[in-house]
Amino acid sequence: MKEVNSEIIVQGIVSDVNYANIEDLALGADVILDGTDNLETRFLINDVSLKLKIPWIYGGAIDTVGMTMTIIPYETPCFRCIIPGEVYGTKGLTCETAGVISPAPMITASLQVAEAIKILVGSQKINRDLIDFDVWGNRFKQLKFNGRRDDCPACGQGRFEFLDGNFSTRTTRLCGQNSVQVSAPGDMDLSFERLAERLRSAGNVDYNDFMLRFNVDGSEMLIFRDGRAIVKDTDDEAFAKAFYTKYIGI
């Protein structure tokens, strides 16, 4: 970035974004751009955006589709207005299991950057709709909402449940076993059949009535029906959480 513009200051931070550090990371920002790959972090961004009154721009891409939306705290619907908390803990596709073709994230990112520029220069032409497109199916839509939801726990009722850590993914080192347990938030009842179908494109899968075993690139994970998993042959909790997120989709 500095090669493009030598006058800017770039501060790189290597960190696992979570409910304990996201406020410090966001403090003082004029706008937040979402380049994340999971719902937990996006709900965290939504909470800190509302608490600190910082606009943020959601963006996501999977397979051949992309979506983006600009969220202005207490003016537009927030992320939990359009994606209720009840869907959190359900298992969606990930780039590792469904893939993604490069035009989808490129278009998503371009639209996000355009919105960020509008916010920074004070433009009145900020997009307040959800943009949804499919580069393979030649579809481009703008989905309009009727404003903020009064019953939204975040912007309607002022409860920052993700920022409070109520729904965070937990990791625990298993003493003497060189393994890390990852506990997903919420109550879950996984279908091993559907999960195995998704994961087979990425690695080796087998399962019984009680657990699913997944192997990829020399790493192994045991997954249970309640969403809990054990990542074997590591004591690195950050790696275990990232591995879980990468393939399971939280």
Same domain, 139 and 28: yes
Over residues 111-161, the pLDDT tens digits come to: 999 999 999 999 999 999 999 999 999 999 999 988 899 999 999 999 999
In 25-47, which positions are buried (b, 16+ CB within 10 angstroms) versus exposed (e)?
Answer: ebeeeebbbbebbbbbbbbbbbb
Q: Quote the tokens at residue 88.
A: 């959190």
Q: Is the pLDDT of residue 60 over 70?
A: yes
The count of C-alpha atoms lying within 13 angstroms of the C-alpha of 108, restricted to the half-sphere facing its C-beta, is 28
- Give the residue, 165 or 236, on which the prediction is more confident: 236
- Tens-place pLDDT, residues 24-38: 999 999 999 999 877
**Region at 138 (left for phi over 0; alpha for psi -120 to 50; beta for the rest):** left
- In this prediction, residue 116 carries a pLDDT of 97
17 in a domain, yes or no?
A: no
Among 143, 160, 180, the domain boundary falls at: 143
Largest Cα separation within the chain, whole Å, is: 59
Q: What is the pLDDT of residue 146?
A: 86
Residues 6+ apart with CB under 8 A from 131: 67, 68, 69, 111, 140, 141, 142, 143
Question: What pLDDT is stored for residue 89 in this prediction?
Answer: 43
Please check whether residue 62 is in contact with residue 93, taking contact to mean a CB–CB distance below 8 angstroms. Answer: yes
Give the per-residue pLDDT at 228: 87
pLDDT for 96? 67
Q: Do 136 and 223 fall into the same domain?
A: no
Coil, strand or helix at 132 = strand
Helices (H), the chain: 22-26, 39-52, 79-82, 95-98, 103-121, 192-199, 237-248
Number of domains in the chain: 2
Q: Of 81, 95, 155, 175, which residue is the catalytic one?
A: 95
Supply the CATH number for residue 131's domain. Answer: 3.40.50.720
What kind and span of H or E run contains 214?
strand 211-216
95 is catalytic: yes
Asked if the structure places residue 91 within a domain, the reply is yes
Asked whether residue 36 falls in the same domain as residue 92, the answer is yes
User: Domain range spanning residue 236?
Assistant: 170-248
Higher pLDDT, 134 or 250: 134
pLDDT digits (tens, 9 = 90+) for 152-189: 999 999 999 999 887 777 888 887 788 998 887 666 77
Nearest C-alpha neighbor of 169 from the set 6, 57, 80, 44: 44
Tell me the sheet residues that pair with 170.
Answer: 183
70-106 pLDDT, tens digit per residue, is 999 999 999 999 986 544 444 456 776 778 899 999 9
Q: What is the pLDDT of residue 20?
A: 86
Q: Are residues 71 and 132 in the same domain?
A: yes
Taking residues 234-240, report their average pLDDT.
89
